[in-house]
């Protein structure tokens, strides 16, 4: 699996996630490929999946990990699902490069 779960656009891009709430510790757990072949970044958070707590934790984690302001992230799909889409505002090439390095570090 070498496809990146990020689709750039004019204002940044969409990041596809598979979120695991109630984990022992937050982190990136590599890539996940579903039966349709769609690739998602697996993200673990410690928050409960209730009242948007896990979604907030995902945004906080991504902001810290990608070193971008929290306001650069918008949940665009999957509010109540494990599979989520987050739009990231910013330079798409820089975001893609940072994600590539993070994923490469996880699979090495």
- pLDDT in the model for residue 3: 77
Confirm whether 100 is domain-assigned. yes
* Total structural domains within the chain: 1
Which position has the higher pLDDT, 2 or 103? 103
In this structure, is residue 2 part of a structural domain? no
pLDDT of residue 91: 93
The Cα 108–Cα 102 span in angstroms is 10
pLDDT-derived band at 107 (thresholds 50, 70, 90) equals: low
Give me the chain's average pLDDT, please: 91
- What is residue 1's predicted lDDT score, i.e. its pLDDT? 42
Given a contact cutoff of 8 angstroms between Cβ atoms, the answer to whether 18 and 42 are in contact is: yes
- Which residue range(s) make up the domain with 82? 9-107
pLDDT of residue 2 exceeding 60: no
DSSP conformational letter for 7: E
Write out the DSSP string of 8-52.
Answer: EETTEEEEEEEEE-S-SS-EEEEEEE-TT--EEEEEE-SS-SSTT
Domain with residue 45: its CATH number is: 3.30.1200.10
Residue 67 per-residue DSSP state: T
pLDDT tens digits for range 61-106: 999 999 999 999 999 999 999 999 999 999 999 999 998 888 887 6
Say if 62 falls within a structural domain: yes
- Evaluate if pTM is beyond 0.75: yes
């Amino acid at each position: 699996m070498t496809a990146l779960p990020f689709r750039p656009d004019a204002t940044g891009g969409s990041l596809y996630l598979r979120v695991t709430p109630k984990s022992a510790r937050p982190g990136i757990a590599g890539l996940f490929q579903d039966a349709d072949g769609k690739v998602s970044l697996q993200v673990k958070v410690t928050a409960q999946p209730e009242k948007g707590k896990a979604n907030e934790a995902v945004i906080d984690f991504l902001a810290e990990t990608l070193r971008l302001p929290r306001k650069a992230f918008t949940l665009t799909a999957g509010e109540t699902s494990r599979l989520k889409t987050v739009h990231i505002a910013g330079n798409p090439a820089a975001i893609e490069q940072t994600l590539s390095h993070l994923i490469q570090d996880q699979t090495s």
